[in-house]
A and B are shown apart, each in its own frame.
Chain A
Amino acid sequence: MSCLEFRRAVLVDPRRLDPELRAHAGRCAACGELLASTLELEDRLAESLQVPFPAGFVDRVLRNAIQQSLGGRRWLAVAASLVLAIALAAALAWPRNDPLARAGIDFVLYEEAQAILDAKPADRAVLERVASGLGVALPGQLGEIRYVGTCPFAGAIAHHVVVKTPLGKATLLLMPERPLASRVVASANGFEAAIVPARGGSVAIVSPSQRALVRVEAILGVS
Chain B
Amino acid sequence: MRMLLERRTAVFESAVRAHLEDLFRYAYWLCRNRWRAEDLVQETLARAWRGWAGLREPRVVKSWLFTILYHEFARDAARPGNQREGEAPANEPYAGDDPALRLDMAKALDQISPESRDALLLQVLGGFSCGEIARILGSSEGAVMTRLSRARQGLRRALEPGEVDREAREG
- A residues whose Cβ falls under 8 Å from a Cβ of B: 8, 11-14, 16, 30, 34, 37-38, 41-42, 44-54, 57-58, 61-62, 64-66, 68-69
Contacts and interface: CB of A to CB of B under 8 A. Distances in A.
B24 A53 contact: yes
A12 B149 contact: yes
Contacts of B155: 41, 45
Interface in B9-26: 9, 12-13, 16-17, 20-21, 24-25
Q: Describe A's contact surface by its main secondary structure.
A: helix
A48 B105 contact: yes
Contacts of B43: 65
B38 to A, nearest CB: 7
A51 B95 contact: yes
B149 A47 contact: no
A45 B16 contact: no
B139 interface: no
B92 interface: yes
A12 B145 contact: yes
Interface string B44-84: 11101110000000000000000000000000000000000
13 contacts: A8-B149, A16-B129, A41-B160, A45-B120, A46-B125, A48-B96, A48-B102, A48-B104, A49-B121, A51-B93, A62-B20, A65-B43, A68-B46
Contacts of A58: 17, 20-21
Interface string B96-119: 101001101110000000000000
B136 interface: no
Interface residues of B, number: 53
Given A13-B123, A58-B21, 20 more contacts: A8-B149, A11-B153, A13-B129, A13-B130, A37-B163, A42-B124, A48-B96, A48-B106, A50-B94, A50-B95, A61-B45, A62-B17, A62-B20, A65-B42, A65-B49, A66-B12, A68-B42, A69-B46, A69-B49, A69-B50
B135 interface: no
A34 to B, nearest CB: 8
Contacts of B50: 69
Contacts of A45: 105, 120, 124, 155
A51 B124 contact: no
A49 B95 CA distance: 9
A50 B22 CA distance: 9
A41 B159 contact: yes
A44 B105 contact: yes
The 3 closest A-B pairs by CB, nearest first: A65-B45, A48-B105, A11-B149
B95 A13 contact: no
Contacts of B106: 48
